[in-house]
Amino acid sequence: MSIGRRTALERTAYVLSFLASRSIEAGMDQTDEVSLPLTQQHLADTLGLSIVHTNKTLKKLSDRELIKWGERSCTINDVEALARIANWQVGQTEDRPFI
């Protein structure tokens, strides 16, 4: 399914789980939690959502304790749960460069 056909919650969960899984694959994170250096504005721009809608969506994920949002970073607590929300399986994408 394309990102354009997903709900805001599914879009956000997909992007965060995708970035986290790529970070893990690249060996950047060796713990159960993955930290991503991005802002809500970065995420909103990437997803094509307003900053307000993005903030509310991140709050929903935070309330489920799947993520922890910092000032300029996001810590992913459960990559697999985010992937399930997005209806995506980690590793489902084809091999390609990190960026």
Whole-model pTM? 0.83
73: left (phi over 0), alpha (psi -120 to 50) or beta: beta
Sheet holding 34-36, edge to edge: 34-36, 74-76, 67-69
- Confidence at residue 84, expressed as pLDDT on a 0 to 100 scale: 94
Q: Is residue 96 part of a domain?
A: no
Residue 91, domain member (yes or no): no
Which domain, by its residues, includes 55?
Answer: 3-85
Contact (CB, 8 A) for 16 and 77: no
CATH number at residue 24: 1.10.10.10
Identify the residue with better confidence: 12 or 89: 12
Paired tokens of 69: 């949002």
Specify the DSSP element, H or E, that contains 74: strand 74-76
Angle at 39 between CA 20 and CA 63, to 5 degrees: 70
Q: Domain tally for the chain?
A: 1
pLDDT tens for 13-63 read 999 999 988 888 887 766 667 888 999 999 999 999 999 999 999 999 999
- Hey, is 17 helix, strand or coil? helix
Closest alpha carbon to 53 in 12, 18, 83? 12
Please indicate, yes or no, if residue 90 is contained in any of the structural domains.
Answer: no
